[in-house]
């Protein structure tokens, strides 16, 4: 679902460039409704705010609350599930009108999320679902589709035959779907062989750079590396440069200025599945307002992902590609 299809009567100019009062007036209608929206108290328990993904999510929450109404209290767990659990419990005690969550370890924080729901607090998740917990709305990418698409890109670059390695991200159930999508695509390419796997662990001592260094040392004839996220893809690119492997094909998932700079380089990083993090966050705030007004909200919204290669970056590195409407201005078309 693209944000541009939401029918609440706002132009992109008004939505993104107008004052909070003007935007609230257009979408909320009456003076009483605007005043009610302005008084709402929101909280966001963010799993991380680092990297382009975390920054775009945080920017989306902040902008949406400023433009649609309310106040926002934000915490950052730094990818630590215990910290995020404690932060959620603290935010529950503050009794917000709605709680926004970006889960780094969705399984581990599920009991805390359930406690928020039991306390009568509407919960809206961005980027990942929380298994076994009925939150109001989850806005996220098609993780299976991103994994499948990026794997197909590698397969076509290799003309259906070659040796590849994988850097995996099993920490989160949603993120692990990327690996399942990748594996599904490989069923169509029996002449592509997986020769090395490495699974990232948040609490581990090995970095993606070190892992790829080891993979390249042990596999002199490797052709490509499929990475479950752009952080690993960027570090893998640095490893490939150090190993003098100019023909290696590397793909990643996330999008943002750092990955785009390597793709535009050019470098071994050829493709990023660029997610709409800003839009995920904005949708969470929008649907929180809708819910608090007694309106229906979707259980799941699948936000756009763009398959960004060098040809799409010839006119610059757009950091705002996931602001609703911007991708269309760039001429980008969603891939999944």
User: pLDDT digit string (tens) for 105-123?
Assistant: 999 999 999 999 999 999 9
**24 falls in which pLDDT band (50, 70, 90)?**
very low
Cα angle value 9/15/19 (rounded, 5°): 120
Question: What pLDDT score was predicted for residue 141?
Answer: 98
Model confidence at 177, pLDDT cuts 50, 70, 90, reads very high
204 confidence band (pLDDT: 50, 70, 90): confident
CB atoms within 10 A of CB 134: 10
- How far apart, in Å, are the Cα atoms of 309 and each of 41, 146, 229? 41, 14, 15
Per-residue tokens: 303: 């936000």
For the domain made up of 143-275, give the CATH fold: Rossmann fold (3.40.50)
- With a pLDDT cut of 90, the percent of the chain lying above it is 87
The domain segmentation of the chain, as residue ranges, is 3-140+276-303, 143-275
Q: What strand order describes the sheet that includes 269-275?
A: 192-199, 162-168, 224-227, 249-254, 269-275, 305-308
List residues bridging with 306 in a β-sheet: 274
Q: What is the pLDDT of residue 29?
A: 57
Give the rounded percent of residues in the chain with a pLDDT score beyond 70.
90
Q: Residue 206, by phi and psi: left (phi above 0), alpha (psi -120 to 50) or beta?
A: beta
pLDDT of residue 30: 61
What's phi and psi for 165, nearest 5 deg? Answer: -120, 160
Asked if domains 3-140+276-303 and 143-275 share a fold, the reply is: yes
Residue 52: alpha-carbon gap to chain centroid: 9
Confidence grade of residue 3 (pLDDT, cut at 50, 70, 90):
very low
User: Is pLDDT above 60 for 22?
Assistant: no
d(CA 177, CA 111): 22
Q: How confident is the model at residue 26 (pLDDT cuts 50, 70, 90)?
A: low
28 falls in which pLDDT band (50, 70, 90)?
low
**Average pLDDT of every residue of the chain:** 92
For the segment 239-264, what is each residue's pLDDT rounded down to a tens digit? 999 999 999 999 999 999 999 999 99
Which CATH number does the domain 3-140+276-303 belong to among 3.60.15.10, 1.20.1090.10, 1.10.10.10, 3.40.50.2300?
Answer: 3.40.50.2300
| Mean pLDDT lowest among 5-19, 94-108, 116-130, 296-310 | 5-19
Compute the average pLDDT of residues 194-204. Answer: 91
Give tens-digit pLDDT for 38-74. 999 999 999 999 999 999 999 999 999 999 999 999 9
pLDDT of residue 13: 32
């Amino acid at each position: 679902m693209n944000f541009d299809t939401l029918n609440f009567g706002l132009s992109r100019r008004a939505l993104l460039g107008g004052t909070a009062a003007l935007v609230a007036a257009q979408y909320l209608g009456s003076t009483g409704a605007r005043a009610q929206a302005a008084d709402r108290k929101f909280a966001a328990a963010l799993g991380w705010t680092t990297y382009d993904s975390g920054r775009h999510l945080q920017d989306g929450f902040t902008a949406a609350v400023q433009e649609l109404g309310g106040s926002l209290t934000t915490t950052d767990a730094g990818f630590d599930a215990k910290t995020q659990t404690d932060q959620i419990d603290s935010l529950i005690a503050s009794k917000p009108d709605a709680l926004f969550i970006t889960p780094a370890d969705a399984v581990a924080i599920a009991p805390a999320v359930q406690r928020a729901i039991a306390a009568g607090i509407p919960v809206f998740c961005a980027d990942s679902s929380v298994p076994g917990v009925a939150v109001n709305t989850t806005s996220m990418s098609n993780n299976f589709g991103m994994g499948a698409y990026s794997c197909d890109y590698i397969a076509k670059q290799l003309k259906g035959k070659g040796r590849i390695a994988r850097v995996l991200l099993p920490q989160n159930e949603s993120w692990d779907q990327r690996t399942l999508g990748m594996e599904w695509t490989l069923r169509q390419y029996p002449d592509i062989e997986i020769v090395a796997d490495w699974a990232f662990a948040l609490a581990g001592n090995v970095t993606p750079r070190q892992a790829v260094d080891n993979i390249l040392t042990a596999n002199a004839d490797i052709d490509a590396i499929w990475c479950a996220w752009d952080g690993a893809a960027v570090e893998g690119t640095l490893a490939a440069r150090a190993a003098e492997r100019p023909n290696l094909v590397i793909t990643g998932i996330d999008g943002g200025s750092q990955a785009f700079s390597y793709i535009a380089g050019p470098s071994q990083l050829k493709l990023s599945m660029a997610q709409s993090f800003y839009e995920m966050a904005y949708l969470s705030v929008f649907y929180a307002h809708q819910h608090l007004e007694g309106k229906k909200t979707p259980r799941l919204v699948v936000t756009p992902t763009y398959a960004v290669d060098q040809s799409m970056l010839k006119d610059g590195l757009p950091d705002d590609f996931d602001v609703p409407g911007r991708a269309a201005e760039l001429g980008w078309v969603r891939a999944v």
